[in-house]
Amino acid sequence: MNMNKITPSSDADVLKRAKRREQKKRDIRRFFRVMFSRKIVVVGAAGTLFFVLVAIFAPLIATHDPNYIQNGKNLLDPSAQFLFGTDMYGRDLFSRIVYGTRVSLLTGVLSTLLATLIGTFLGMLAAYLGGVVDMVLMRICEMMRAIPQLVISMTLIAAFGGSMMSMVIILCFGGIWNSLRMMRASALSVMSNDYVLAAKLSGEPMLKILYKHILPNSVSPIIVSASQSVGFTILMESGLSFLGVGIKVPTASWGSIINEARVYLITNPLYALIPCACLAVLIISLNLLGDGIRDALDPTLRGES
Amino acid sequence: MSNLVETKNLVTTFPYDGKKRIRAVDGVSLNLKQGEIVGLVGESGSGKSVTVMSILQLILPPGKISGEVNIEGIKGNILDYGMFSDEVRSTRGGKIGMIFQEPMTSLNPILTVGYQIQENIMTHLGLKESEAKQKAIEMMKRVGIANAEQRFEQYPMQFSGGMRQRIMIAMVLAAKPDVLIADEATTALDVTTQAQILELIRDLAKKENVTVVIVTHNLGLIARYADRIYVMYSGHIVESGEKFEMFERPAHPYTRGLLNAVPRLDDDKTRRLVPIEGLPPNPANMPPYCKFFDRCLYREDRCKERMCELEPISENHFVRCCLSVEELDKKRDQIEGQFKSAPVKTISGEVCLEVRDLKMHFPVYRGIMKKHVGDVHAVDGVSFKVYTGETLGIVGESGCGKSTLAKCIMRATKPTAGEIIYKGTDMALLKDRALKPFRSKITMIFQDPFSSLDPRQTAGSIVGEPLKINKITKTREEYNDRVDELFRLVGLDPEYRSRLPREFSGGQRQRLGIARALASSPDVIICDEPVSALDVSIQAQIINLLEELQAKLQITYLFIAHDLSVVKHISDRIIVMYLGTVVEESPAELLYSNPQHPYTKALLSAVPISDPKVDAQRERIKLIGEIPSVMARSAGCPFCERCQYASERCRTEKPKLKDCGNGQLVACFLYD
Ligand SMILES: Nc1ncnc2c1ncn2[C@@H]1O[C@H](COP(=O)(O)OP(=O)(O)O)[C@@H](O)[C@H]1O
Ligand code: SF4
Ligand code: SF4
Ligand SMILES: [Mg+2]
C-alpha cells in the first residue's frame, strides 16, 4: 500500500505501461491466431494480398500503357509481347487488367468504408436519439430495401455520370442502409447496459458517449459485415460496368472489359475469361478473409462451434 | 424410516482449461427421507445445482458423474444404468420432479399450458387424453389457479411469473413424484409471491407425503420452510442437521459466518454485519485441505494438515471441521468480541432532497394505428423528504415504481408532473444544460455490477470519468491522486487501476461502481438494488462499506431494494410503495415493530427471519392474489382488491397519507 503515492512517471508506472503494451501485443497475436486458425482463410488472405500488391504496383507490373491503342493489332492472341493478347481496339489486355485491379479494389474498399462510416454514425444516432430521428431513418432504410440496389445505382449514375469518384459515392449510397440497421440494433443492445445510463447521468455529452462507450462495444459486427461486403460491392461495380452504365470508358475496369469481350466469347474466349477469373478469385479471397475476421472478432457467429 | 434417495460420495467434474478437471461436486453424501423438507443452502457456485442435476443425471458430457446414487425401488447404483436407460427416465420427472428458477424456459411458449400438463400426465401416468385433461384441470385448481377451465387453453406468456411457477408445480406434481426438487424456484419472484409458492409447496407436500428439496442461497427461506438442512461450500457439504439445532447451535465456521453476514428484520440499530472476507477458492485451484481456510476466522495451522470429513457432533448433526465444537465455541467469544458495532452517523435537520407529488405516466399505444389507449401510472403522486446524512429506504414489490422513481429523481427521464427540490431548486423540469451542476451532486449506484461498467474502459478511467466531465481536478497529478484516493475509499488497491472490469469479481465491481458514484463528491447517492445481485457474504461487505462511507462523508442515501431485511438494516426511515403510491412512511424500527398499513403487514410477514424460533412466533398475514395489471387501476385505494379490510369507501375514494403520530404516515382509511 506504500505504492499509492507514486507519481505518473515512477518506475511502477513505466512497468505497468509496459505490461499493458505486452497485453495488447498478446491480444493482437491472439486475434491473428484465431483469424487464421482455418487454413482456407490463409488462402483468402494470400489471394487478397496478391491483388492489393498488383493494384499498388500496377505501373511497374503493366507492360504497356493500358489505354494506348496499337493500330491494327486488335484481338491478338497471347504472346510474349502481349501476355494476355490485345482487346478489340488493340490495347494490351494484360495491362488493362492490371490497372483494372486498381479500379475494382479502390471503388470496392472506398465505397464500403464510406458506407460503413456513415451507416455506423447514423445507426448510433438512430439508436441514441430514438423518436423522430429513429423513425425517419428506419423508414428510409425500409424504402431502400424495397427498391433493388441496381435500380437505385443506375438512376444515380444517370444523374451523376460515371467517374470513379461518383461510382464510389453511388455504391456507398447503396451500402449505408445495411450497416445503419445493423449498427442501430447493435447499439440498442449496448445501450441497455447501465454504464451508458451512468455516463448520461454524469453529464457526459452525447458525442462522447457515442464515441467512448457505444462505438467500441458495438462495432465488431459492423466490421465483420463490412469486411464481408467489400466483395459484394466490387461485384456490383463490375455488374454496372458490364451493363455499360459503370465507370466510363476508357478507364480500365474489369466489368467494362467483360462487357466489351462478350461479343468475342466464341472467337477469343480468353478475352472475357481472364477478367472473369480475376473477379471470381478476388471476390472469393475477400469473402474468405471476411470469414476469418468474423471468426476472430465474434466467435459466436461462426457456423460450427 | 428408510431413505428415498441416497447419494454416497457423489463427485461431478467438468473439464477446465484443457486437461484439468474441476470438481464442482466433491464427494457429497446426502439422504432424503419420505415426507421431509430438506434445504440445500450455499452461495452461488457452491455446487447446489450440479448436485441435484447429478442425482437426476442431467449432466451432459464432458461433465462426468461418479459415486453412488441409490433410489428406492431401483436396485443398485442408478449411475450404472446410463442416462438414457428406462430406469433413469422413469426417475426423472416421474419419481423425482424438478422445478427451476426460470419457469419461462421450462414451459414451451407455443403450446397451451393445459396441453403441457396433460401431456405430462399422459406420459407418466399412462392415462387417456380425456382423463388426463380432467386431471390436469384438477391439478391447476389444486395449485390455486382460478378459472382453471378457461386458463387451460392459455399460453405461458399470458401468465405472470408466480402463476407460471404454479403451472410448473402442477405439471410436476401431476406425475405423482416421491421427491420434488425446487432449485431456486422462487428466487426471481417477489417476496409475497415467493411466500405463496413455498407455502403451496409445503402444504401439498405434507398432504401427499412428498419429499421436497429446497435449493436456495436464502437462509431465511430455509429457516422457515425446511425441516433438515445441508450447507454447501465449494462442492462440499460442510454441515448438516435438523433445522432448530442448526440455527441454535451452528457449528461450522462457514455457517456461523453466514448467519453473522445476513441482515435480519429484527436487527437492532447498532448491529453491524460481519461479512465473510475474501472469495471462495477458484475451482481450478482447490487446496488439498479445508476449502474454507482462506476465509475462516477460526482457522489454525493444523487445519492445513489434512482434509477433514463430515463427522457427527450429535445424533443428527454433522460438521466438517478439524476443530471440535468445544474449541470452536471457545474461540467464538474471542472472535465475536472483536466485532465492531455500526458506525455512528449524524443526521442534520436540514432537508437535502424533497419530492412533492411526483408523477410519471407512460402512454400506452395499441394496434397498427398506435391508438393511445391509456396511461401506465408508474409513479402516481409520491412525496417525501430526505434529510442530510440520512438513509431513506424505498421498498415495494417489482413493478411498484421504485426504479422509475429513481430515474425521475436522477432526471434520466422527465417526470410528468411534480417537483424535485434539491437544496431549494426545483429540478423536475430543468433542461439538460441547466441540470449539469446537479448531475455531480446526485449520483447513482446500479444493481447489476456487470452491465454498469463499460467492459472496454479500465477501472481507473471508469472511476475517474466524473472527475473529467465535471472538471473537478485541474492537473494530471491531482486527477491521479483523487482516483487513487477513491480506490482506497472503497477498499480497492489503486494498483488495480489499469485492470479491465472483467478482471474483478462481482463484489469488487460493485465497489468500482460505488467509487464512480463518489467521484464527484455528491450529496445524495441513489442506490437502486445495489446488493441484490451479490451473494450474502459479499452483500454484507457492500452494506458495511456504504454505512462507513455515509458516516465518514455525510452522504444522503436513497436506498431502493425489494429485500426488506436489507432495507430495514441500512435505513433510518422507510417508505413502502404499492402501485406507484406511498402507502406507509415510517422510521425503520417502527416499521418492523409496529407496521400500520395492511400491505406493509403482509409484506413483512412474507419475509422470513433466519432464526426459526423467532420466525415461528410471528403473526402470519397472507396476501390474496397478485399485483393487478398496471393498466387496471381502481379509482379507490390501490390495495383494495387484495386487502382483507376493504370496505365500500376503499373502492371509491383514494386514501391520503396521514400522520398517525410518532413519525409514521399511513394511507389507509382504517386509521382515519
Ligand atoms: N456445464 C458445466 N461446465 C463446466 N463447469 C460447470 C458446469 N456447470 C456448473 N459448473 C461449475 O460447477 C460449479 C458449481 O455450480 P452450481 O452447481 O451451478 O452452483 P450453485 O447451484 O450452488 O450456484 C461452478 O463452479 C460452475 O462454474
Ligand atoms: S477446518 Fe479449520 S479452516 Fe476449515 S472451517 Fe474448520 S477451523 Fe476453519
Ligand atoms: S384503504 Fe381500505 S383497501 Fe386500502 S389498505 Fe386501507 S382498508 Fe385496505
Ligand atoms: Mg444454482
Q: How far apart are CA B283 and CA B20, in angstroms?
A: 11
- Supply angle C-alpha B338, B339, B344, rounded to 5: 120
Cβ of A16 under 8 Å from any chain B Cβ?
yes
Which pLDDT value is given to residue A7? 44
In the reported structure, the alpha carbon of residue B347 is separated from the centroid of ligand 4 by a whole-number distance in angstroms of 41
The domain that holds B395 is classified in CATH as 3.40.50.300
Pick the atom of ligand 3 nearest to B640's CA.
3
**Which residue in this structure is represented by grid cell 475451482?**
B283
Q: Is residue B640 in a domain?
A: yes
Confidence of residue B471 (pLDDT cuts 50, 70, 90): confident
Distance between Cα B648 and ligand 3 center (Å): 10
Assess whether B634 and B663 both reside in one domain: yes
What phi, psi does A205 have (nearest 5°)?
A: -70, 155
Do B608 and B664 belong to one domain?
Answer: yes
Residue A8 lies in a domain: no
User: Which of B11, B43, B49 most suits a substitution to test ligand 1, by most atoms within 8 Å of the C-beta?
Assistant: B49
Which is more confidently placed, B315 or A162? B315
Can you tell me the distance from the alpha carbon of A213 to that of A219, in angstroms, rounded to the nearest whole number? 11
B316 within some domain: yes
**DSSP codes joined into one string, A263-297:** GGTTT-HHHHHHHHHHHHHHHHHHHHHHHHHHHHH
Is position A218 within any domain? Answer: yes
Does the residue A40 lie in any domain?
no
Residue B654 pLDDT grade (very low, low, confident, very high; cuts 50, 70, 90): confident
Q: Which domain holds residue B435?
A: 351-441+554-671
Choose one of B292, B319, B330 to mutate for the ligand 2 pocket test, by most ligand atoms within 8 angstroms of C-beta.
Answer: B292
Distance from CA of B52 to the nearest CA of A (A): 28
Question: In this predicted structure, what is the pLDDT of residue A201?
Answer: 84
**Same-domain status, B569 and B652:** yes
User: B650 CB under 6 A from ligand 3?
Assistant: yes
Please, are residues A10 and A16 in contact by the beta-carbon 8 Å criterion? no
Domain containing A192: what range? 46-297
Cα B117 to the center of its chain, rounded Å: 29
Residues B625 and B659 in one domain: yes
pTM for this predicted structure: 0.82
pLDDT at B215: 92
Number of domains in chain B: 2
Average pLDDT over residues B495-505: 86
Residues of B in contact with A305 (CB under 8 A): none
What band does B577 get if pLDDT is binned at 50, 70 and 90?
very high
pLDDT computed for residue B163 by the predictor: 82
Residues of A in contact with B365 (CB under 8 A): none
| Of residues A19, A201, A213, nearest to B454 (C-beta) | A213
Residue A23: inside a domain? no
Residue B138 domain-assigned (yes or no): no
For residue B549, is it within any domain? Answer: no
Q: Which of A277-286, B494-503, B547-556, B579-588 has the lowest mean pLDDT?
A: B494-503
Asked if residue B289 and residue B375 are part of one domain, the reply reads no
Structure confidence by residue, pLDDT tens digits, B195-240? 888 888 898 888 888 999 999 988 888 999 999 999 999 889 999 9
Q: Are residues B355 and B401 in the same domain?
A: yes
Mean pLDDT of B27-42: 91
Residue of B427, B432, B445, B454 to mutate for A, most A C-beta atoms under 10 A: B454
Average pLDDT of the residues in B513-537: 90
Whether residues A199 and B516 touch (CB distance < 8 A) is answered with no
Mean pLDDT of B506-523: 91
| The total number of structural domains that make up chain A | 1
Decide if B547 is inside a domain. Answer: no
For residues B314 and B369, membership in a common domain is answered with no
Contacts of B439 in chain A (CB under 8 A): 201-203
- With an 8 Å Cβ cutoff, are A197 and B477 in contact? no
Residue ending a domain, choose from B309, B337, B365 = B337
- Whether residue B333 is found in the same domain as residue B430: no
Query: Ligand 2 atom 8: the closest Cα is on which residue?
Result: B299
Q: What is the pLDDT of residue B1?
A: 52
Which cell numbers hold the place of A180? 445503419
Q: Looking at residues B630-637, what average pLDDT do you find? A: 73
Q: What is the pLDDT of residue A13?
A: 64
Question: B291 and B327 in one domain?
Answer: yes
Looking at residue B557, its pLDDT comes to 94
Assess if residue A60 is contained within a domain.
yes
ipTM: 0.73
pLDDT in tens, B443-463: 999 988 888 999 888 899 999
Q: Contact B20/B41 with Cβ under 8 angstroms? A: no
- B44 ligand 1 Cβ < 6 A: yes
Residues of A in contact with B456 (CB under 8 A): 216-217
- Domain contains A22: no
Nearest to A193 among B436, B451, B516 (CB): B451
Whether B297 is covered by a domain: the verdict is: yes
- A3 part of contact set with chain B, CB < 8 Å: yes
B381 vs B87, higher pLDDT:
B381
Note whether B564 and B435 are same-domain residues. yes
pLDDT interval class at B87 (50, 70, 90): confident
Mean pLDDT of B176-182: 88
- pLDDT for residue B331 is more than 60: yes
- CB-neighbour burial class of residue A158 (10 A; exposed 0-12, middle 13-18, buried 19+): exposed
Structural domain includes residue B636: yes
Q: Is the pLDDT of residue B273 over 90?
A: no
- Ligand found nearest the CA of B48: 1
Looking at residues B467-482, what average pLDDT do you find? 89
Q: Which of residues 175-204 of A touch B (CB under 8 A)?
A: 192-195, 197-204
- What pLDDT, on a 0 to 100 scale, did the predictor assign at position B641? 84
Separation in Å, CA A89 to CA A67, A77, A240, A260, A276: 10, 13, 21, 10, 19
Any idea which residue has 473537478 for its cell? B472
Percent of chain B with pLDDT over 70: 98
Q: Is A203 in Cβ contact with B469 (below 8 Å)?
A: yes
A243, part of any domain: yes
Same domain (yes/no): B367, B332:
no
Q: In the numeric block, which cell numbers belong to residue B153?
A: 387453453
| pLDDT of res. A8 | 45
Choosing from B337, B366, B390, the residue where a domain stops is B337
CATH, residue A177: 1.10.3720.10
In which residue ranges of chain A is pLDDT below 50? 1-9, 302-305
In a domain, B53, yes or no: no
Residues B326 and B398 in one domain: no
Q: Is residue A20 part of a domain?
A: no
